[in-house]
Structure 1
């Protein structure tokens, strides 16, 4: 089982390879959608952050630019004086300190704002993901690995954290720094600016080559990580089955293949990414040395009026100009990973929700003096289908009795492969029906069609004479008590797990349902009885005890139709 599941999940290329990796489709569209989501939630805060970034960058640039004046107009004249007056110099240094203090303050404030924006954005994304997931049809969860879905909530969301908190403000900061520093360098020396731009061009070529290679593997890393998480989650759930059939070695082999593929994609991604920063740093150092040599010669020979103060400022600007380019190249990998994660997040959000065009609802009812059904706001123990005609001709009330009819039903999980042909059956109120057949004959499928987990391709299913397609799905399922094959117990008390079948059930109703399911005896023998907290899907209970709790959960709703799958 583990081996077969591994083949399904791992896809082609389970071997170690350096072949072509997937590319992110429409990165601009994904980035635009992410920015739109961010601005919708925190547009004002982001505007404030951008303003603070401008203030911080301009303050730092102004401080660096003032170094030329500090050296040429204050320090150099004092070199020939026997008793120099340090007062003006101290005042000038104080002004420089004020510029840098303003830059530090603005950086601190916008970083605090970004912490709030980042965590708020991730919280909203998780809320939207979980809310949307509740609207998805069962078909989606039957065709997607649960661990891969979990990876969207954890790994993919975390990549967005780094992008929103660090990459976006760093990118804006770097862009403003590049523009402002370039202007100042042109003002100081046009020839040295040209030399700096030549070295920056070399840096950009190297960045493009290395970042392009690493981005493909970072995307593959996110996909491979999701597959590994999915396989681990499945193996943990089926650990008893693995051991019963001695499939440990097969599971290990399948996991190793997936883990090796993850190793390959992560290694290749980080190989290119880790080389990028040292290469750019060395190019920046070469640029700094060239500027120092050429600028020093210009200052000593007073070429184009260039001074030592100008050289000191230009060297600082040279570092300031190369640094943001290096930082942008460093953030490119984080941005690519975040876009890959955002693509998976938005992919889940874009999944089509379950379609429900039903308009017949389930209501509490009473009989008037003429024995006609009317709607009641109070719980009466009598239920009725409220059928409001779409043509406006009025509203009918049909008593809920539990009469189910299949009329010439065709169904297939895939439309081109029908598994149930011309099915006709009926279940009248009070009747008990058992479906007997081999595995895969369609017993569970019948259940899934009654509660509309899946919709039929042809024919009709009527519930109390009403086509189930006309009944709102939530009301349809509320009228059915279903005990599924796979019992799932939530991390909560025994009482709350039973009450899940009817959230407003009283304690006495829970006790009665447990007695009806023959579960009351073993529940009271638990350490805290009905208040015993179940964890790990009720791992401390036997399979039979878990099944009895599932029956009690269905019984507490007192449904007119009870289905035991």
Structure 2
């Protein structure tokens, strides 16, 4: 293995002050187009589960049909077998039929709920997978701009809002549509004046849903944004706990968190208030509608008993209640729908984020090359017009140990970031064996080199799995040999479970020095052509 060891920076005339690893990358974030586009994109996820969707829709339709014909049978039974002629046996037979109808409606309702729930979980799993895979391809500059807590909130809280609508709201929406359609048809078949009396409330309901719905959607998006800020604040506080306690800044952090927490609380209250406005207003409209139907029906029964019977009025009262119930569901689901769409827009903002720096269409293949590294008049800044390094020139020959030294903030870590192509240079070029870094594929570049960072990261799994992370096919002997080269084998062997010792998140159950030794072991085991040590 040839060692080209990069650990530092340049002379003072060619640098700009900046903390190691600091700065912000440029980010090109294409936001989700708009509400309608987001809705269409969301429903495209149902495409792979058309069979479940069709079964769910058919069983919902069957349940609605059975529930819709039941009041007509009840009204006819009262009119024909109790009101106009007394026939208890015939009436009892109709009630048995009615019982089986309601049992059938119950069974089809259960089937539809289970089917839609199964489909929703499959859809949400695909969304999470797509989101996670996309995040893996995002440029480092994206994470410079976006808080980790906010990204986590989008992938958990926002996706959960979408799931809640898919699993519950979708069923209620389809059920309400079929129910309202079926009831309107049934009522028209029974009596036109009473049907028009029931339908008189629709314009008022539509206006309320349109006006309040826009307010709910705006409030829902703000609420989700504030929850993202809250998650980011918690994540930052937990990650920086040592710094907070070292400088006795607990009270200051509590005050900052209280401010973010209050904003999240206020956004949630605003969302709840706007959502709850819908239900009392819907209830009021429903009460007026029922009173109007009962009052008009009573007058018509008295005025024209030959046409308007008590059985007909009973059927219409049942239909009216069944008609207004899905309207209340629509109002409630619309609030859920707006919350889901607000979450979907935030999710699609992540999906639409620019991925990692592009590889060339026809990349140069990395063969068994010597591994010469050359910085040719390299300049770079994380932000426009704020250069971090400027005019850097040097060459690291194969087999040569090259130390680049300089004070903190001189740009040493920045040079490593450029060499690994986490960022592209603003001007000049970085070459490996005479070929510009940008002409290679990112995968080939990162397989060529091994980097030990100042703050090594470890996953919450065994030491063995962490060491083999970069080379899973390595043998036990190769792993132990690499640990001995890095002087890590002794301390690992002294642990109760040796290489099978479980590390906590970030490896915080071992010392900083031990984490550094493990990081060097992991890099040595990957057998890189170019070894880069960032103050390791």
Deviates more, 1:486-495 or 1:346-355: 346-355
Measured in 2, the distance between the counterparts of 1:141 and 1:328 equals: 39
Aligned to 2:415: 446
Aligned to 1:528: 497
Measured in 2, the distance between the counterparts of 1:204 and 1:471 equals: 59
Measured in 1, the distance between the counterparts of 2:361 and 2:39 equals: 37
Measured in 1, the distance between the counterparts of 2:461 and 2:72 equals: 64
In the alignment, does 2:255 pair up with 1:253?
yes
- Confirm or deny: 8 A CA contact 2:82 2:88 kept in the other structure: no
In the alignment, does 2:38 pair up with 1:30?
yes
Q: TM-score, normalised by structure 1?
A: 0.85
Measured in 1, the distance between the counterparts of 2:376 and 2:361 equals: 19
Note the aligned Cα RMSD (angstroms): 2.0
Unmatched runs of 5 consecutive residues or more in structure 1: 1-7, 9-22, 80-84, 363-384, 387-398
Aligned to 1:16: none
Aligned to 2:449: 480
* Equivalences for residues 343-382 of structure 1 within 5 A: 343-354=345-356, 355-357=358-360, 359-360=362-363
Structure 2 vs 1, CA of residues 176 and 57 (structure 1 numbering), >3 Å: closer, same or farther?
same
The offset of 1:358, in angstroms, is: 6.5
Aligned to 2:291: 289
The offset of 1:288, in angstroms, is: 1.4
Unmatched runs of 5 consecutive residues or more in structure 2: 1-23, 25-30
Name whichever structure is richer in strand by fraction: 1
The offset of 1:416, in angstroms, is: 4.2
Other structure's SS at 1:459 match:
strand
The offset of 1:344, in angstroms, is: 1.4
Measured in 1, the distance between the counterparts of 2:73 and 2:360 equals: 70
Measured in 1, the distance between the counterparts of 2:53 and 2:209 equals: 28
Aligned to 2:27: none
Measured in 2, the distance between the counterparts of 1:415 and 1:508 equals: 49
Measured in 2, the distance between the counterparts of 1:304 and 1:282 equals: 33
* Equivalences for residues 78-477 of structure 1 within 5 A: 78-79=85-86, 85-302=87-304, 305-354=307-356, 355-357=358-360, 359-360=362-363, 385-386=366-367, 399-477=368-446
Measured in 2, the distance between the counterparts of 1:206 and 1:481 equals: 61
Given the alignment, which residue of 542, 554, 558 partners 2:527?
558
Given the alignment, which residue of 76, 87, 91 partners 2:83?
76
More contact order relative to length (CA 8 Å, sep ≥ 6): 2
The offset of 1:327, in angstroms, is: 0.6
Aligned to 2:28: none
- Confirm or deny: 8 A CA contact 2:213 2:338 kept in the other structure: no
Aligned to 1:63: 70
Aligned to 2:58: 51
The offset of 1:251, in angstroms, is: 0.9
The offset of 1:360, in angstroms, is: 4.8
Other structure's SS at 2:393 match:
strand
Other structure's SS at 2:472 match:
coil
The offset of 1:145, in angstroms, is: 0.4
Structure 2 vs 1, CA of residues 440 and 465 (structure 1 numbering), >3 Å: closer, same or farther?
same
- Confirm or deny: 8 A CA contact 1:489 1:537 kept in the other structure: yes
Aligned to 1:512: 481
The offset of 1:97, in angstroms, is: 2.2
